Amino acid sequence: MTGFFLRRKKLGDNTGLPSRRLICKGNMASMTRPLHPFWSAAALICTLAAPALGHAADDGAALRTAVDAVIRPLMAAHDVPGMAVAVTVDGRVSYFNYGLASRATKSAVSEHTLFELGSISKTFAATLATYAQEQGMLSLADHPGAWLQALKGSALDRATLLQLGTYTAGGLPLQMPDEVDDLAQAMRYFQGWEPQAAPGTVRRYSNPSLGLFGYVAALAMKRDFAGAAEDILFPQLGLRHTYIKVPASAQGNYAWGYNRDNQAIRVNPGVFDGEAYGAKSSTADMIRYLQANIDPSRLAAPMRRAVEATHVGHFDMGPMVQGLGWEQYPYPVTLNRLLEGNSEQMLREANPARPLAAGAAKGARLFNKTGSTGGFGGYVLFVPEKKIGIVILANRNYPIPERVKAGYAILQQLPAAGY
């Protein structure tokens, strides 16, 4: 792989002000000695802590060395065709691009390559809902039956929109049943659904739960979700190349994902796909999105308050706190705690949830979210108090623990790289 690029710049605000940019190009093979392909990102944390890294003459070169040492062996170990990484610290942004967006066309990954975000999309649905609330269009204390007559009086109607948005409505499953193909069938499913627990007592991660939450938010805005996201939400966040439905004009930047059989695939549409897992974006847009979360002060007031509302912790899950879209941890945080919060148990099981009073989660916090589709895997994290954000996108659905280890390894190296 020879297409390795580092771009580092100081971003202006969303008004399109000029930016300073330093661009360095180089052959990946000439930068560092290759590491064994089966080293994990966790093992690299110690390896990368060599004193020489902190004394590198150029901050950008030091960070490039650190990121390269994490990502290259990760790609080799999991046969990842392409990866894009972006790092922001105090407004400075660096991009690191590896491999191929398409093996068929041999097109290289760049910061403009579109990747499927999977469940990172849920943070957009959460922000749309809090924005609708800020505009007086709905209240998160509403019950779904207030917006959907078909659900009025059902068991699901005992839950609030807030509980749908935090997966605490009573145990909705991870996925819709296979036989549910459209909205009418989804409404019939919800009508007959029986909870496993009282609303607000357990968290069970769920596409149907968050999907319905996002659907109601768009309904309150008198739009479909894709229209509300693409016409209202994304522009206000400064996201110029983020989509629910990728237009023809952007298809050339849309990467192909690769499944276990190395077949080129893309996500299939489904009920609530846009709300729960259907967004596509680039590292250029996603790092801007993290910057808007790190410092929302440059956003228009309603959107600023909407973003801030997604940072409120609502349920204590032990290793992590569940908010709307984002999951959060006290910072600094250990790798083990991050792995526990992103574990299979948290993904697939119902776990006791302790409600938190608004503002109970205080102090420095790390926010994160993973996302997957059949051919893509992503991980994003940010720490507002440190003005740090990291985006890692890949066109392979490789294991979540490896994504978390990679993000943590890069995070730990920022001080040594002069950031």
Give 226: exposed, middle or buried? Use CB within 10 Å, 0-12, 13-18, 19+.
middle
**Which residues does residue 237 pair with via DSSP β-bridges, in sequence order?**
none
321: closest CA among 296, 353, 289? 353
CB 264 within 8 A of CB 258: yes
Would residue 119 show up in a list of annotated catalytic residues for this protein? Answer: yes
Place of tokens 């097109």: 107
Give the active site residue among 94, 110, 119, 121.
119
Distances in whole angstroms, Cα of residue 283 to Cα of each of 7, 60, 336, 391: 12, 18, 26, 6
What is the set of active-site residues? 119
